[in-house]
């Protein structure tokens, strides 16, 4: 938790309690359903929570913004972002039912009123549009963008550096993946935002039409 407070300080007492509760909740759920590797549980706040919050460092989502977390897994980046932005609406989806069960359990235990969940593939989302899609390395950029375009609204949303589109967290050498995607994204090095060793090859990838 200390590493979160190293970079963010303006939290309400409710937000602080929610962030503090994350480790115990994920340890408890991980005993039943393994959604986070054993070694990563000990580094939960750095490798999962702070990693997710890198998006909050570059995008100032306005109240009532509608955000889809595509392939949320155990709830990242959606749950940390939902704690950070309590007036923003998050819809967390994953095609694996047991992962959504964990997300629902954690969300309910935290009392997050701005989170909905669905055991679904993004291609099956009909009659609903979002301002932003977020994702954490669940597929190649080209696929993420192809899945995101049909569910994105046409109107833009105000933000610090970003309006409407896809924000994904990725690592490693992305040159070939970007070339194959046909997308011309903007890359932000997370190490420049949070200078921690584990973020040296991690990026925020911003793609918009």
Cα separation, 201 vs 22, in Å, equals 25
E runs forming strands in 60-185: 66-70, 89-94, 115-119, 132-136, 165-171
- Exposed/middle/buried for 58, CB within 10 Å: 0-12, 13-18, 19+? middle
Positions at the binding site? 71, 76, 122-123, 136
Positions at the binding site for S-adenosyl-L-methionine? 71, 76, 122-123, 136
Cα separation, 194 vs 192, in Å, equals 6
First to last CA, the chain: 37
Q: Are 143 and 154 in contact (CB under 8 A)?
A: no
């Amino acid at each position: 938790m200390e590493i979160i407070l190293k970079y963010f300080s303006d939290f309400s007492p409710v937000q602080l309690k929610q962030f503090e509760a994350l480790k115990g909740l994920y340890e408890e759920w991980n005993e039943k359903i393994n959604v986070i590797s054993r070694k990563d549980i000990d580094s939960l706040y750095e490798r999962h929570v702070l990693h997710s919050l890198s998006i909050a460092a570059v995008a100032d989502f306005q109240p009532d913004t509608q955000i889809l977390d595509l392939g949320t897994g155990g709830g990242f980046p959606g749950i940390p972002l939902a704690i950070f932005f309590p007036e923003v609406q998050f819809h967390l989806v994953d095609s694996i039912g047991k992962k959504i069960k964990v997300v629902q359990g954690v969300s309910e235990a935290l009392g997050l009123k701005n989170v909905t969940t669905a055991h679904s593939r993004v291609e099956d989302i009909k009659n609903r549009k979002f301002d932003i899609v977020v994702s954490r390395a669940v597929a190649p950029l080209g696929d993420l963008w192809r899945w995101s375009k049909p569910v994105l609204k046409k109107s833009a949303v105000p933000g610090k550096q970003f309006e409407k589109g896809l924000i994904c967290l990725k690592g490693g050498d992305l040159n070939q993946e970007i070339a194959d995607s046909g997308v011309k994204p903007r890359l932000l090095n997370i190490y420049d935002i949070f200078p921690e060793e584990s973020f040296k090859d991690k990026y925020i990838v911003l793609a918009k039409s």
